[in-house]
Structure 1
Amino acid sequence: GTFQFESEGMRMYLKDLKPTNIEDLIAMNALYRPGPMQFIPDFINRKHGREPVEYPHELLKPILEYSQGIMVYQEQIMQTAQILAGYSLGGADLLRRAMGKKDMKKMALEREKFVKGAGEIHKIPAKKASEVFDVMEKFAEYGFNRSHSAAYSVVAYQTGYLKANYPAEYMAAVLTNNMGDIKKVTFFIEEARKQGVAVLGPDVNESEQKFNVPRENQIRFGLAAVKGAGEAAVLELVEERQKNGHFSDVFDFAKRVNLRSVNKKTWESLAQAGAFDGFEKYNRRQFMDAPAGDQNLIEKAMKLGQQHQAAKESAQHSLFGAGAFGAVSAPLPKVQDLEEWSAPEKLRREKEVVGFYLSGHPLDTYRMEIDAYCTCPLEKLELQKGKDVNIAGLLSAVTFRTTKSGQPMASFNVEDYDSSLNLALFRDDYTRFSALINPKNYPQEQVPPMFIRGKMELRYGTQDQWELKIKTMEPLAQVAEKLSKGVRVKLDLCTVTGPMIDRLQEAIEHAKGSKRLEIQFVEPHERLAVDMFSRRFQIEPKTFIDKMKEFELDVCSLI
């Protein structure tokens, strides 16, 4: 999110450079481009004294000192011609243009002029002057305008300062600026979390139209980023809250907002995004579903709100005036208890209205299996050409159709935390895996996350197009049982307590099975680790890990 400096390569070089002044940033902005990029290691090494700083000529030290003796900018090319050969400013600019365009005829004339001027003014030998001209010619091909680089670098420094010192406010602004790009919003939310800034879901009592900072190190999701909420409805909602204070509950919300702009569609979008979760009394499913013959919470709340607003308007025009209004308040409707949606269903609906998973990810349940058995994330598959790979992800957009030759085929998307991949099944693969990916074979037509073994192979008939050839595929939920040899429990000797050992013992007793249990005692300050395994106890990995998490002991990994 830092202007000009957010690419992976630039961040790597800046870590090596350890810039100490604005000139370092200006130089890096100019050097980090095709061509001059080759001089970045020299620039870094010279700054830190690992290489001597050398100048084409000692008279050029004043104009090259701040760039470690390297000609980085167009202005330095022109200044060199002025200092050594007595060029006028206009003449130096003509020289720069000739060099940049590689006009050989003009260059030959300029070289002669440069060598002559350097000899007459400073008694520089022709050979040395010609060598300096060669250096100028080399750098003129890609010299960058210093004023441009300086302007960029000042803004880059300012954004870097804000990110370092006001991380929540800065990231909220970055998220707002990229609100229309789901991929970027997802990336910057993760970046904020890496900085220790929590990105909270939308909330009708805290969210603004855009991303905002309700308190230190927290960002609230902007209501305008919720699909279907509607800009007019969001503005109306926020204005009412700012004018008359927080909403006490969902029925107070219904009574106070303009229900013509905050319509049923808006309610549904906000409910599925979790914007009413702060009221706590009702879960998201109650807003959307209801037992047969009954109304859901949205319908009941809107009906109450309409009645309240109609009665209020009527009272304002009554003989007795508005003061008589509110003497009798309508009783709140009864809302039937409903079991909350499952975590995957809750996240699925959240993604529908927000564009991505905000409060969690469906793969979080299988994080341990992914860490233990997957060889790479989807975004790194291109680096695995010719290699066997293990991947895992959610399946979506499953379609079945017939090829031109009349053969059945299927296509589907696999999606992990950061990327997605489209795969297709033909012939034998279709026979083996089509039933496994068919939504109709699962409750609520939701295909479970899958674990896929395959190999990155050249696509048939091509020399440069690689694709994943599936070898095996199975539900990710079954992988731990099949592949796991057991569980490793990592315990820090500095934090081990009697109650912790008691909970460990209880988890072992609760999860008796046939897999190995290893315990690793570590002393981080001394960098010591001792591995032990139990001959007496064997466990069922998934049950054991779940029990340990229940005890809030996040110390397990699959082996």
Structure 2
Amino acid sequence: VDRLCKMVPNHPTDPWTLPRALNGAADFKAEYDNDNEVKRLVDLAMQLEGFPRNSSTHAAGVVIGDRPLAKLVPLYRDPRSDMPVTQYDMKNVESSGLVKFDFLGLKTLSVLKKAVDLLKRREIDIDLSQLPLDDPKVYELMKAGNTVGVFQLESEGMRRTLTAVKPTNFGDIIALVSLYRPGPMDNIPLFGKRKAGEVEIEYPHAKLEGILAETYGIFVYQEQVMQAAQILAGYSLGDADLLRRAMGKKVQAEMDIQRERFVAGCKEVSGIEKAEANALFDLIDKFAGYGFNKSHAAAYALLAYQTAWLKAHYPEEFYAASMCFDMHQSEKLAIFVDDARRGGITVLPPALNYSEAEYTVEQTDDGYAVRYALAGIRNVGERAMEAIVEERETAGRFESLKDLFERLPKGSMNSRQLEALISAGALDEFEPNRAKLMANADMLLAVADAAERERSSGQAALFGGEDAAVEDDLRLKDAEDWSLSEARAREKENMGFSFKQHATAAYREIASAQGARSHASLMSGGVPGGGRMGAVMAVQVEGASKGTTKRGKPFIRAEFSDASGQFSAACFEEGLVEKFLEWAKNGTCVKLDVELDSPSPDEPPRITVRGAVPLDAVRGSMAMLLTLEVESVEAMAQLALALGEGGEGGDEAVATLLTGDANAPVMRLGRTFSIDGELAERLASVPGLAKVQLTARRGKANLRLVA
């Protein structure tokens, strides 16, 4: 059946019926003529074709009549819905005298309102309806494809389209929203080239320049089809809409009537001869089939612009609002957190004394940050977290573990919720050893139960009174804290990602210089066309076990992780077997040379390790170059303090002194420093130091000096 289906042309704007396929698809007709089973199958299918396959309700379709609907059309009670629906479909219901409306409920509207409300907490009032539509920061964001979370513009394909087309005005956004659909998206490359001036703009007829100039000579909107008929052939707008509908339905008899009228109108109104008029009709017909309603696209483009404006100007509120409405989709939350981090936006981990049930924006020493929501942790429950936050806001912050568990509202905490909060780090302020908290979970819940019983009975403490000595905190039995990899795994289990920095982060620049790719990017990109390809990865070895091949040779099956995820892979290089066992024991970070093997482009590739070397050894063979700008004497002093006097290292530091002169002097500070990513990050936070950048050079002997 699948093989036969692929023989039937299935263009989104022009689906073929089975009789049409028998007349126009030679391979399909050959199967039908030569195989009795296929003939019987297709004959049965042609009897069923066109019948309703199932009952369903339009997501936003509402019909309105001038009397009770039961007097006009048969109704049906969908067991999944709380309101009746019409038994007639969307086309027949119109001819029954009912008016159709599409009332779209968009989550984006709620996200925008939430962001505006969050800004009011900062005493910033924004009226999104009054935003200027020519804000340069918005278009820079779009040109860069930095549109994760932006309405209609967030898919990977659309982001690539934005970087290729580079929109510069609101009309471009409307056009891209309209074009990015099956069928019309074939015109996007031409649209981009004409916009960039790489291809000359051509118009089907000189009289159409006025209506096609905004889309660089390409029919994009239904309104343009109607205007073309009006200008070229003298149609009224009402008749032009009938033409548009006829072209959309492709009813031949109706099309013949419209063609005759269009050709005659072109001759009378524009002096266009029959042959050219027919060619224009065919061209308009081609685009009318998938032309988009411009007013609808403009409304969507406006929401896209508003969300992009928030991301460009108030990214913290943008992310917090967006995450509030994807709170129970951990995969989506992980995408937002990753995108925020790439944009330099801080996302603070959950904390019972600071987080609210929803995502919020919090002021920090460095500006503003997004605070992770308590209800964004799996298995804790939004109402329970709201009750804890209300207690904190009413009676003040929790001073200790004892204070927290004695004040917990009734029913707001059970063992499952407590384990999730501990694993996510929400109690780190009170006790950073999460394993210790987990080992004492039953005792902590017992404290909460005892406090609740005491409140319910109205009794004071056993030796009662306000003057009784009260122990500041609870005595917890000791437990060895989790390893970094286990803490990361538990955070990922409860939030979909981890706040703890991966061990490979310390080698970020080294990994980048080696061309290392993350596990997630390799899995999503796969092997183009299937087959095999090589790649480099920077990972931590988390475990390894020794095995024997069928030929009796030793091999290793190892567990690895990077910031994007965990995976396992085999290594058959005999010289690495014992090394991997040692690396796994120490949690060593290594550079892997791997081979990806994929039977087909649709399957995730299998990873085999072909070579490995500790990243410390790679680091020792490479020199780093630190470049930065110094804006003040105080900043220079801080820089000197951080770098020290140098020593046995082979890394270089180069500073540009911003003295106000046109030619700012560049100083080579030395070539014997030891500089890593952590130091570079510390320097980037020093006031007066700017454009801090750390890059790796391949060999110390080949270090290129900057004068």
Name whichever of 36-45 and 395-404 sits farther off: 395-404
Corresponding residue to 1:200 among 337, 348, 372? 348
What CA deviation, in whole Å up to 9, does each residue of 1:128-178 have, x standing for no partner? 323322321232243122233223212212222332333222211211222
Distance 1:421 1:78 in 2: 56
Structure 1 contact 273–350 (Cα < 8 Å) conserved: yes
Residue 257 of structure 1: CA displacement? 0.6
Q: Secondary structure in 1 aligned to 2:211?
A: helix
Question: Matches of 2:272 and 2:467 in 1, distance apart?
Answer: 101
Deviations, residues 51-70 of structure 1 (Å, cap 9, x unaligned): 66544334434533443432
In structure 1, the partner of 2:593 is 453
Query: Are positions 1:354 and 2:507 aligned together?
Result: no
Structure-to-structure mapping, 1:203-222, within 5 angstroms = 203-215=351-363, 217-222=368-373
Which 10-residue stretch deviates more, 387-396 or 248-257? 387-396
Partner of residue 287, structure 1:
437
Show the counterpart of 1:293: none
Cα deviations across residues 327-386 of structure 1 (Å, max 9, x unaligned)? 425424444677755543433332333231113223323324422334433314536775
How many angstroms does 1:72 deviate by? Answer: 0.7
Structure 2 segments unaligned to the other structure (5+ residues): 1-148, 685-691, 699-707
Superposed displacement of residue 188, structure 1: 0.6
Q: 1:54 to 1:527 in 2, by over 3 A?
A: farther
In structure 2, the residue corresponding to 1:451 is in which secondary structure? Answer: strand
Task: List aligned pairs for 1:373-388, cutoff 5 A.
Answer: 373-378=514-519, 379-380=521-522, 382=526, 387-388=533-534
Once residues 376 and 60 of structure 1 are traced to their aligned partners in structure 2, the CA distance between those partners, rounded to angstroms, is 50
Report the Cα offset of residue 31 of structure 1.
1.6
User: One-letter code of the match for 1:488?
Assistant: M
Cα deviation, residue 37, structure 1: 2.9
CA 1:218/1:36 → structure 2, altered by over 3 Å: closer, same or farther?
same
Give distance in 1, aligned partners of 2:407 and 2:290: 63
Alpha-carbon offset, residue 557 of structure 1: 3.9
CA distance in 1, matches of 2:598, 2:458: 76
The 5-angstrom pairing of residues 138-217 of structure 1 reads 138-215=286-363, 217=368
Q: Alignment partner of 2:608: what SS?
A: strand
SS of aligned partner of 2:647: helix
Pick aligned residue for 1:226 from 361, 377, 384: 377
What's the CA shift for 1:260?
A: 4.3
Write the letter of the residue equivalent to 1:248: E
Partner of 2:688 in structure 1? none
The answer as to whether partners of 2:353 and 2:398 remain within 8 angstroms in 1 is yes
Inter-partner Cα distance in structure 2 for 1:502 and 1:286:
38
**In angstroms, what is the RMSD of aligned CA positions?**
4.5
Aligned to 2:608: 470
Residue 5, structure 1, aligned to residue 149, structure 2: no
- Give, in angstroms, the shift of residue 108 of structure 1: 5.2
- Taking only the aligned residue pairs, the percentage that are identical comes to 33
The aligned runs of 1:116-127 (5 Å cut-off) are 116-127=264-275
> Is the alpha carbon distance of 1:382 and 1:421 closer, same or farther for their aligned partners in structure 2, counting shifts above 3 Å?
farther
Q: Which residue of 1 aligns with 2:623?
A: 487
Residues 23-38 of structure 1: matches in 2 within 5 Å? 23-38=171-186
2:506 to 365, 372, 379: 365
Q: 1:519 aligned to 2:669?
A: no
Looking at structure 1, the residues matched to 274 and 510 of structure 2 have their Cα atoms a distance apart, in angstroms, of 70
**Residue 255 (structure 1) aligned to one of 406, 420, 438:** 406
SS of corresponding position for 1:187 = helix
List per-residue Cα deviations over 1:98-117 (Å, max 9, x = no partner). 54465667655543331112
**Residues 451, 254 of structure 1: CA spacing in aligned structure 2 closer, same or farther, 3 A cutoff?**
same
Inter-partner Cα distance in structure 2 for 1:548 and 1:167: 27
Number of the residue aligned with 2:562: 416
| Partner residue in 2 for 1:514 | none
Alignment of 1:92-111 (within 5 A): 92-100=240-248, 107=255, 110-111=258-259
Deviates more, 1:101-110 or 1:141-150: 101-110
Verify: 1:235 aligned to 2:386, yes or no.
yes
Superposed displacement of residue 413, structure 1: 6.6
Tell me whether 1:274 sits opposite 2:420 in the alignment: no
Instruction: Quote how far apart the aligned CAs of 1:202 are.
Output: 0.6
Q: Point out the more displaced range, 248-257 or 77-86.
A: 77-86
The 1-side partners of 2:681 and 2:234 are apart by 79
Partner of 1:72, secondary structure, is: coil
- Taking a change above 3 Å as real, the CA distance of residues 545 and 162 of structure 1, as seen in their structure-2 partners, is closer
Aligned-pair distance for 1:262?
Answer: 1.1
Distance in 2 of aligned mates of 1:549 and 1:48? 39
**Using the alignment, how far apart are the partners of 1:401 and 1:264 within structure 2?**
40
Q: Secondary structure at the match of 1:488?
A: strand
Structure 1 residue 548, shift from structure 2 partner: 5.8
Structure 1 residues 105 and 255, CA, compared in 2 at 3 Å: closer, same or farther? same
Instruction: Note closer, same or farther for the CA distance 1:96–1:548 as it changes in structure 2 (3 Å cut).
Output: closer
SS of 2:361's partner is coil
- SS of the residue corresponding to residue 4 of structure 1 reads coil
Q: d(CA) in 2 for partners of 1:227 and 1:466?
A: 28
| Corresponding residue for residue 389 of structure 1 | 535
Q: Which runs of 5+ in 1 are unaligned?
A: 290-295, 512-516
Partners of 1:148 and 1:402 in 2: how far apart?
A: 64
Q: Deviations over 1:484-539 (max 9, x none)?
A: 42422425474795775576565525x7xxxxx252536498699899996xx7x9
- In 2 relative to 1, CA 399–70 (structure 1 residues): closer, same or farther, beyond 3 Å? farther
CA pair 67-524 structure 1, distance change in 2 beyond 3 A: farther
Q: TM-score, normalised by structure 1?
A: 0.76
User: CA separation in 1, counterparts of 2:260 and 2:678?
Assistant: 83
Secondary structure in 1 matching 2:362: coil
Question: CA distance change for structure 1 residues 149 and 176 in 2, over 3 Å: closer, same or farther?
Answer: same
What amino acid maps onto 1:284 in structure 2?
R
The alignment partner of 2:291 has SS state of coil
* Alignment check: 8 A CA contact 2:513 2:695 kept: no
Task: Name the aligned partner's letter for residue 215 of structure 2.
Answer: S
The more displaced of 10-19 and 394-403 is: 394-403
**Which letter maps to 1:350?**
E
Q: Secondary structure at the match of 2:538?
A: strand
Distance, in Å, in 2 between the alignment partners of 1:547 and 1:188 is 24
Counterpart of 1:74 in structure 2 is: 222
Amino acid at match of 1:453: D
Distance 2:605 2:643 in 1: 45
Q: AA paired with 2:592? A: I
Cα deviation for residue 223 of structure 1 reads: 1.0
Following the alignment from structure 1 to structure 2, what is the Cα–Cα distance between the partners of residues 127 and 524?
A: 71
Q: Is the 8 A contact 1:26 1:153 kept in 2?
A: yes
